[in-house]
Amino acid sequence: MEIGPGAFHFARYLSSADQIALVNQCRALIDGPVPAYVPVVRGGGKMHVRMLCLGRHWNGRTYAYETHRTDFDNLPAPPLPAAFVRLAHDIARAAGMLLAPDLCILNYYDADGRMGLHQDKDESERSIAAGLPVVSVSLGDTARFLFGGLRRKEPVESRLLASGDAFVFGGPARLRYHGVSRILPGTAPPELGLVGRLNLTFRQYDL
């Protein structure tokens, strides 16, 4: 359902079977030949997630996208699987938006995982100006997701994102501040066999 102009929360978008399949694909990627890692950001601090970028690599030191992980091990970002592209496209369409994603940031949060309030603004100017959405899919433990306004000082609403939920922010909501203040440990559906939370955010770098 639409929670504000250009912002949609689809609770339990994914069936249990779809969640299991997606968790397994994510696990294989995270522990694969190009593994997830803990990025160090501009100020020198470590992020509170393990990250793996698909399609394009987001460099936490420069906040720019690149083909190879020059801030970590110089390995190339693994390709974005076709099934992931379709999933994000379909979720965007459910929100009445078009998205041909070419990158996904896959984050793993353990019980202490979190992400400070930020804007997603490292995609191309044209993509952002067009309001092409960010599509987010959550798996495993529930997160307390913060969703603010276009300025950092604006009020922030908190919203629980549970396993299988999809969240879309595009159009006038594309640059809204957001973050994750905490993970609710032990809330993952048991059939996933997942301790912690996985979140995938899909974007389209350019038009």
Please give the residue ranges that form the binding site for ligand SIN (CB under 6 A): 105, 107, 115, 136, 143, 145, 161, 178, 180, 199, 201
Rounded to the nearest whole angstrom, what is the least distance from the CB of residue 168 to ligand SIN in the complex? Answer: 12
**H or E stretch at 96:** none
| Cβ proximity to ligand SIN, 97 vs 138, nearer residue | 138
| Cβ proximity to ligand SIN, 1 vs 74, nearer residue | 1
| Cβ proximity to Mn ion, 21 vs 152, nearer residue | 152
Rounded to the nearest whole angstrom, what is the least distance from the CB of residue 31 to ligand SIN in the complex? Answer: 20
User: SS3 for 196?
Assistant: coil
**H or E stretch at 184:** strand 178-184
| Cβ proximity to ligand SIN, 127 vs 199, nearer residue | 199
Q: Residue 155 has what DSSP assignment?
A: -
CA dihedral over 97, 89, 194, 37, signed as positive or negative: negative
In SS3 terms, 118-147 reads as ECCCCCCHHHHHCCCCEEEEEEECEEEEEE
Rounded to the nearest whole angstrom, what is the least distance from the CB of residue 85 to ligand SIN in the complex? Answer: 18
Rounded to the nearest whole angstrom, what is the least distance from the CB of residue 136 to ligand SIN in the complex? Answer: 5
The structure tokens 């593994």 sit at 35
Residue 199: name its binding partner from Mn ion, ligand SIN, none (Cβ under 5 to 8 Å by kind). Answer: ligand SIN
Residues 65-124 that bind Mn ion (CB under 5 A): 120
Q: In what order do the strands lie in the sheet with 142-147?
A: 115-118, 178-184, 142-147, 157-161
